[in-house]
Amino acid sequence: MDEQSNCTTCGSTHVVKNGTKTIGSIILQRAICRNCGINFEYPKNSNDVNQPVKLETPSKPRTSLTGRLTEAEVRAKHDNHFKVTKAAQALEKGIYIENRDFVASLKLSGTSHLRWTGNTAFDKYRGRAGSVTYWSHPESIQKMKNDGVLI
């Protein structure tokens, strides 16, 4: 940075420029702290660069930089059963998705999708017609099975 600025939250000097903003005749330098992830602004041509300017919409600290994740965030990132369950529960009535498209939307690595999408716990969300497996809301799948369209 042209001037040395400290983070307004943690006091770190490891901050980098993140653009500028003009309000009337005042030019504000935007910065982001690489230590805690907080965005802040300060007057660009001021002698007192450590005097922060309050953001109109404060940004949320990056959880990846602070190491704080909720259980749901960790599960969404690493738990394949959780990913398949969430995707299956989000299926809409009357909308049928081919297995290959459903699996692609899960973004599971390698062939691990076979273990999870083939699990009997998800039988109510899928049905087969010919050589194609379809995923949908359980009521839609059951209706099509009752009509003899899906097996």
pLDDT tens profile 6-35? 777 777 777 788 778 777 777 777 787 777
> With contact defined as beta carbons under 8 Å apart, do 41 and 11 qualify?
no
Looking at the structure, do residues 23 and 60 belong to the same domain, yes or no?
yes
Looking at the structure, do residues 93 and 26 belong to the same domain, yes or no?
no
Lowest mean pLDDT among 31-35, 54-58, 143-147: 54-58
Looking at the structure, do residues 97 and 142 belong to the same domain, yes or no?
yes
In a domain, residue 138? The reply is yes
In a domain, residue 35? The reply is yes
Looking at the structure, do residues 58 and 83 belong to the same domain, yes or no?
no
Tens of pLDDT along 81-104? 778 888 888 888 888 989 888 888
In a domain, residue 124? The reply is yes
What is the number of structural domains in the chain? 2
> b/e string for 54-65 if b means 16 or more Cβ within 10 A?
eeeeeeebeeee
Q: Is the pLDDT of residue 49 over 50?
A: no
Distance between CA atoms of residues 66 and 69, nearest Å: 9
pLDDT at 6 (0 to 100): 76
Domain boundary among 66, 82, 107: 66
Looking at the structure, do residues 132 and 97 belong to the same domain, yes or no?
yes
Q: How confident is the model at residue 110 (pLDDT cuts 50, 70, 90)?
A: low
In a domain, residue 76? The reply is yes
Domain boundaries, position 53: 15-66
pLDDT at 56 (0 to 100): 45
Q: Supply the mean pLDDT for the chain.
A: 75
In a domain, residue 113? The reply is yes
